[in-house]
Structure 1
Amino acid sequence: MIDFRYHLVSIVAIFLALAVGIVLGTNLLQDPAIKTANEMTSQLTRANEDLRGRLETMQAREQDHQEFVTTLTPQLVAESLAGEQVLIVEAPGAGTTYREATEQVLVQAGAEVTGRLLLLDKFFDPKSAGVLDGLVNQLKPAEMAFADTATVHDKAATLLAATLMTTDQTLAGTPNETLAAVVDGLQTGGFIDIDGDALNRATLSVLYAPDAPYEGDNAESQAAAFTSVAGALDAAGKGAVVTGAAATSAAPGGAITALRDDSEIVKRVSSVDSADMPEGQVVIVYALREQMNGGAGQYGTGAGAAAFQPVPPTPAPSPSSTESGS
């Protein structure tokens, strides 16, 4: 019969064996394990330092690159938009950093910025569509007719465009007295706002997309509303360009993506998804110039861009070169 002493001796033997195994295992593995860990730590440290050095080099090169382009910008855009009036339009969530830089480039190109139109959240809210529709019908001239298929935002965009845009150079830079109540009415209704004084008529427009893609149940209708505004401003003036950053506005759900996916609007309205780059701000000017000449294109680095910039126009031959070649 196995007694208590046998059990006790067995248990002590088991724990003694475990203790001996732990001691032996620790002594055998300690040095190799520590050595391996130290080597891995050294490798990771060196790799991290190498990556940090590369990043700093790339950042320095990018800074030099941006300074170089910024310095050359006045020459690159000189007189490209001489005498033109440009309306700036901002969707909710559009950034201000590159918008301010682009405004400066537009001025360097010879254009005058007539003002900023801010499209507010309420303009895109489906719950406010009925109120917007009623306000548009109340404010529009009696002779203005909308297509049977026009959405609420198509109608509102058409009315705004008729108020703020023109193709007549003699009217550019002057207020539209016949539709003076339109901006006031939509502003009072909380659908739009303006930066500064009442807006004068422009010949061209630049629309800034939100810095984040549209999301949620209303994403598609919001993107369509923004596209409607771009199309209407383009039709009522000499051209329109939608701009933003490739990582956001040209991503799935982005406003530029919605424009490029619209088979009809994309034929008329241009887009530039590199507004956050100095060279992209130059491309905006080139895209506006192309619009004035009756063309349109999708430019930048994001999905759907056909090229980084429009094909530069071929300069007309000078009289001297014509004579020498004849």
Structure 2
Amino acid sequence: MIDFRYHLVSIVAIFLALAVGIVMGTTLLQDPAIDLAKRTSAELTNTNTGLRADLDTLRGRESGNDALITALTPDLVAGDLTGQRVLLVETPGSSATVREAAQQALTQAGAEITGPVTLTEKFLDPKGTGVLDGLVNQLKPANMVFPPTATSWDRAATLLSAAFVTPDQAQANTPNPATADVVSSFETGGLLTIDGDPVKRATLAVVLAPEKPYEGESAEVQAGALVSVAGGLDLAGKGTVLAGTVATPAAPGDPIAALRDDGEVSKRVSSVDTADMPAGRVAIVYSLREQLNGRAGQYGIGKGASAMLPTVTNATPSPTTQSGS
């Protein structure tokens, strides 16, 4: 018969064996585990140091390239837009710094700048389409007809574009008598603000996209509204470029991505997703010059871009009677 003392000795022996195993295992594994951790840490440190060095090198190269393009921009764009008036359109979230740099490049190209016209958040608010429709119906000329599929922003863009741009060089720098009260009414309604005298019509337009894609449940609709604006300006003038910065990752609220996904509008309206770079400003000028030749393209480094810059050609302005690009 196995007595209590035997049970006690057996239990003590079991726990003693476990304790010895743990001690031996820890002792045997301690040095290899620590060595492996040290080697891994050293490798990660070396990799991180190498990546930082690569990043510093790339930043230095980019800074040098930017400085070179900035210095050469006056020569690269000289005379490309002489005689053209360019309307600048700012949108909710667009960068004043990008606008000022683009304006400088356009001026160096010989263009006369009108605006900027700044669209407000109220203009893009899907809940405010009733206000847009009411103003359009009240202010549109009798001969202005919209397609049955036109959205509220399509209609508003058509009306505003008639007030801001013209394809006729002879009518540039003059107001459109058929849309005399349009801009002031939209301004009174809190849908836009203006600087300067943009009602003295331009021939070309640059719409500045927001720095970051719109977010929220209305983001895709807001991006589409800006595509409508760009498309309307293009049809009413000699050409339009939608310019901004590349969105990483691409998002539904990115107007440039929305434009490039629109097979119809992207055939007419150009886009540049590097407007925050000196090369991107040159691309804006070249894209407008390409628009004068009746062509469009998508340029930059983001999804849907076909090249960094348009092919360099001599501008041959479209006939003054031709509408759109």
Q: Give the TM-score taking structure 1 as reference length.
A: 0.87
Q: 1:198–1:266: structure 2 CA closer, same or farther, 3 Å change rule?
A: closer
State the one-letter code of the partner of 1:134: G
Counterparts of 1:126 and 1:86, CA distance in 2: 29
The within-5 A match list for 1:209-224 is 209-224=209-224
Q: Once the 2 structures are TM-superposed, how far is the Cα of residue 162 of structure 1 from its aligned partner? A: 0.8
* Corresponding residue SS for 1:205: strand
Find the residue that maps to 2:130 and give its secondary structure. Answer: helix
Matches within 5 A, 1:226-245: 226-245=226-245
Q: Name stretches of at least 5 consecutive residues in structure 1 with no aligned partner.
A: 317-326
Give, in angstroms, the shift of residue 247 of structure 1.
2.7
Cα offsets for 1:6-65 (capped at 9, x unmatched)? 333333222222222222222222222222222222222222211111111111111111
In the alignment, which residue of structure 2 is the partner of 1:36? 36
State the secondary structure of the residue aligned to 1:115: strand
How do 1:96-135 and structure 2 match up within 5 A? 96-135=96-135
Once the 2 structures are TM-superposed, how far is the Cα of residue 178 of structure 1 from its aligned partner?
Answer: 5.1
What is the CA–CA distance in structure 1 between the aligned matches of 2:314 and 2:267, rounded to whole Å? Answer: 22
Secondary structure, aligned partner of 1:276: coil
Structure 1 Cα separation of the partners of residues 12 and 275 of structure 2: 77
- Matched with 1:272 is 272
- What secondary structure sits across from 2:181 in the alignment? helix
Q: Could you tell me whether the CA contact under 8 Å between 2:87 and 2:115 is conserved in 1? A: yes
Q: Deviations along 1:141-190, whole A, 9 cap, x unmatched? A: 33433333322212111110111112333443344465342112112222
Q: Residue type matched to 2:255 in 1?
A: A
Maintained 8 Å contact 2:290/2:315: no
1:181-232 CA distance string (max 9 Å, x none): 2112112222222245665321110011233335554444333322221111
Rounded to whole Å, the distance in 2 between the matches of 1:310 and 1:294 is 13
Q: 1:18 to 1:149 in 2, by over 3 A?
A: closer
Match of 2:23 in 1: 23
Cα distance in 2, alignment partners of residues 76 and 188 from structure 1: 41
Would you say how many aligned residue pairs link Structure 1 and Structure 2? 316
Deviation, 1:249, is 9.5
> Taking structure 1 as reference, are residues 249 and 54 closer, same or farther at Cα in structure 2, changes over 3 Å only?
closer
Q: Which residue of structure 2 lines up, in the alignment, with residue 281 of structure 1?
A: 281
Paired residues for 1:280-299 under 5 Å: 280-299=280-299
Paired residues of 1:250 and 1:273 also in contact (CA < 8 A): no
Structure 1 residues 161 and 198 mapped into 2: Cα distance closer, same or farther (>3 Å)? closer
Partner residue, 1:12: 12
Distance 1:146 1:297 in 2: 26
Q: Report Cα offsets for 1:265-313 as digits up to 9, x if no partner.
A: 2222111222122111101101101111222222222222232222211
Structure 1 residues 65 and 198: CA distance shift in structure 2, 3 A = closer
1:82 maps to 2:82: yes
Structure 2: which amino acid aligns with 1:148? P
Q: 1:220 to 1:14 in 2, by over 3 A?
A: same
Give yes or no for contact 1:115–1:200 (8 Å, CA) kept in 2.
no
Contact 2:117–2:195 under 8 Å retained in 1:
yes
- Equivalent residue for 1:320? none
Provide structure 2 residue ranges, at least 5 long, that are not aligned to the other structure.
317-325
- SS of the residue corresponding to residue 194 of structure 2 reads strand
Per the alignment, residue 149 of structure 2 pairs with: 149
Q: Which residue of 2 aligns with 1:48?
A: 48
In the alignment, what sits opposite 2:322?
none
In the alignment, the residues of structure 2 paired with residue 17 and residue 208 of structure 1 have an alpha-carbon distance, to the nearest angstrom, of 75
Task: Output the amino acid matched with 1:85.
Answer: R
Distance of aligned partners of 1:35 and 1:265 in 2 relative to their CA distance in 1, 3 Å threshold: closer
Q: Please show how residues 258-269 of structure 1 align to structure 2 within 5 Å.
A: 258-269=258-269
Identity within the alignment, %: 60
Shift of 1:242: 0.9
Distance (whole Å) between structure 2 residues aligned to residue 205 and residue 82 of structure 1: 15
Q: Distance in 2 between matches of 1:145 and 1:49?
A: 63
Matched-pair contact (CA < 8 Å) for 1:103–1:113: yes
Match of 1:66 in 2: 66
Greater displacement, 64-73 / 98-107: 98-107
Note if contact 1:249-1:255 (Cα within 8 Å) is conserved in structure 2.
no
